[in-house]
Amino acid sequence: MTKLQTRSKVSSLLLSLAWLVPATAFCEPWPYVERPAGPRFYLGDEDARLGHAQFIAGNFGNAEFSFRRAVEVNPRNSAAWLGLASSYDRLGRFDLAERAYREVRQLIGENAVYLNNHGYSYMLRGRMKEAARLLGRARQLDPGNPTIENNINLLNAGQNYYWGGDPYIWGWPR
């Protein structure tokens, strides 16, 4: 073996082992910075995320189970309560949905998301006047929200089909 071949083998060996040396070995180390205090996750988040995925997939029974576990672990998780109420709506358990909506209202107040979901719940139950009242308040809080607008259009279309009259019977602008 010649000197040149030996040098090339040694240099290739050194290059192949270079990844073992950390990049900070030849420079000043980074100072350690303490992260701000606080939890990195909240109790019940995994169950709430699983419930959301099950709800999107149309598995409302599994979604209800996951959301219920999430609110048992953390009763102040408003997203889990809202998901639980929506799951109860889709399962036809309107009595339990009403209790869950009361919890949501106590936690987050009457914001547009709560009013829209509760109004849709009333629409599923056939209580159209309450649905129109809540959806109208949701529209006032968040004008132009496409979800709220779709629910209002759905309510109007249902009333037009059922009564055969003006779909804007609730006094909303055309």
Model confidence pLDDT, tens digit, residues 59-95: 999 999 999 999 999 999 999 999 999 999 999 999 9
What mean pLDDT, rounded, does the chain reach?
A: 80
Q: How far apart, in whole angstroms, are the C-alpha atoms of residue 35 and residue 2? A: 56
For residue 94, give the nearest of 140, 67, 125 by alpha carbon: 125
Is pTM beyond 0.75 here? no
SS (H, E, C) 99-160: HHHHHHHHHHCCCHHHHHHHHHHHHHHCCHHHHHHHHHHHHHHCCCCHHHHHHHHHHHHHHH
Model confidence pLDDT, tens digit, residues 126-141: 898 999 999 999 999 9
Q: How confident is the model at residue 163 (pLDDT cuts 50, 70, 90)?
A: low
Q: Provide the percentage of residues in the chain whose pLDDT is more than 90.
A: 60
CB contact at 8 A, 61 and 31: no
Q: Which amino acid is at 74?
A: N
